[in-house]
């Protein structure tokens, strides 16, 4: 009879290639917190936790380029609208015992003053007003974002921008962004993401800024 020996190794020792996604079921909240601590802040992986399932993902350039472009587009739009903001990048947002997510980018707008100078999130801090995800090798965990209470979520996936608005605890797929109601976000952004692949992010942003100004 062959004996089965279980070997436990730290998650940080996992060698994941770009584009890889690992899903681990039956992870308790304390285990999730311990894994975050083990992985540390300076890492290339992204994590998402919802309903006891942990996902660890390593982004591809196909993921990073739209992410950066969307983040810069939001900054341009906020400037045009005269709205002040505080970006929080890929900060880990958590609802203890329930969910944890790391958006590709996020922004505090309504509560931006409260978050200025914040080096670490406090337990009573609000969620960001807008979060952005670029889906390539994995899909955004809407349940996690709903648990955390992010009011507006943009998910760019395969040439399509989905805008999710939180209403009464449920995400509704919307044709418009409440933040930019007078701008056809869903039509404009995919066009300029595709343009960025052709001419680079900088020129695409310059063309976007010119188009918005008109």
Q: 136: pLDDT confidence band, cut at 50, 70 and 90? A: confident
CA dihedral 41, 43, 103, 105 (to 10 degrees): 90
**Contacts of residue 112, Cβ cutoff 8 Å, sequence gap at least 6:** 84, 85, 86
Place of tokens 């681990």: 24
**Contacts of residue 10, Cβ cutoff 8 Å, sequence gap at least 6:** 38
At the topology level, CATH places domain 60-213 in tt1808, chain A (3.90.1570)
- Asked if 175 and 189 count as a contact pair (C-beta separation under 8 A), the reply is no
User: What are the tens digits of pLDDT across the range 39-94?
Assistant: 877 677 888 999 899 998 887 767 778 889 999 999 999 999 999 999 999 899 99
User: What are the tens digits of pLDDT across the range 42-55?
Assistant: 677 888 999 899 99
Q: 146: pLDDT confidence band, cut at 50, 70 and 90? A: very high
- Asked if 156 and 168 count as a contact pair (C-beta separation under 8 A), the reply is no
User: What are the tens digits of pLDDT across the range 175-214?
Assistant: 999 999 999 999 999 999 999 999 999 999 999 999 988 7
The phi, psi pair for 88, rounded to 5°, reads -125, 15
Q: What is the pTM of this model?
A: 0.87
Judged against a pLDDT cut of 90, whether residue 19 lies above it is answered with: no
What is the average pLDDT across 106-113? 96
Place of tokens 């944890």: 100
Strand 93-95 versus strand 86-87 pairing type: unpaired
Average pLDDT, the chain: 88
What pLDDT score was predicted for residue 60?
Answer: 72
What pLDDT score was predicted for residue 8?
Answer: 46
Rounded-to-integer distance, Cα 168 and Cα 177, Å: 17
Helix 61-81, helix 201-213: angle, nearest 10: 30
């Amino acid at each position: 009879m062959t004996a089965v020996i279980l070997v436990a190794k730290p998650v940080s020792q996992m060698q994941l290639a770009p584009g890889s996604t690992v899903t681990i079921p039956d992870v308790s909240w304390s285990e999730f917190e311990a894994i975050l601590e083990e992985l540390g802040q300076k890492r290339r992986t992204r994590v998402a936790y919802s309903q006891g399932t942990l996902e660890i993902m390593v982004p591809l350039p196909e993921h990073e380029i739209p992410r950066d472009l969307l983040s810069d587009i939001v900054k341009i739009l906020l400037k045009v609208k005269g709205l002040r903001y505080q970006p929080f990048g890929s900060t880990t947002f958590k609802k203890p015992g329930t969910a944890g997510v790391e958006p590709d980018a996020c922004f505090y707008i309504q509560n931006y003053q409260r978050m200025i100078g914040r080096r670490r999130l406090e337990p009573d801090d609000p969620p960001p007003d807008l979060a952005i995800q670029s889906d390539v090798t994995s899909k955004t965990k809407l349940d996690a974002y709903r648990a955390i209470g992010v009011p507006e979520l943009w998910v760019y996936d395969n040439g399509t921008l989905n805008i999710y608005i939180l209403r009464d605890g449920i995400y509704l797929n919307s044709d418009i962004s409440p933040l930019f109601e007078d701008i056809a976000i869903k039509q404009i952004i995919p066009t300029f993401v595709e343009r960025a692949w052709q001419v680079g992010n900088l020129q695409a942003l310059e063309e976007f800024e010119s188009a918005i100004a008109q």
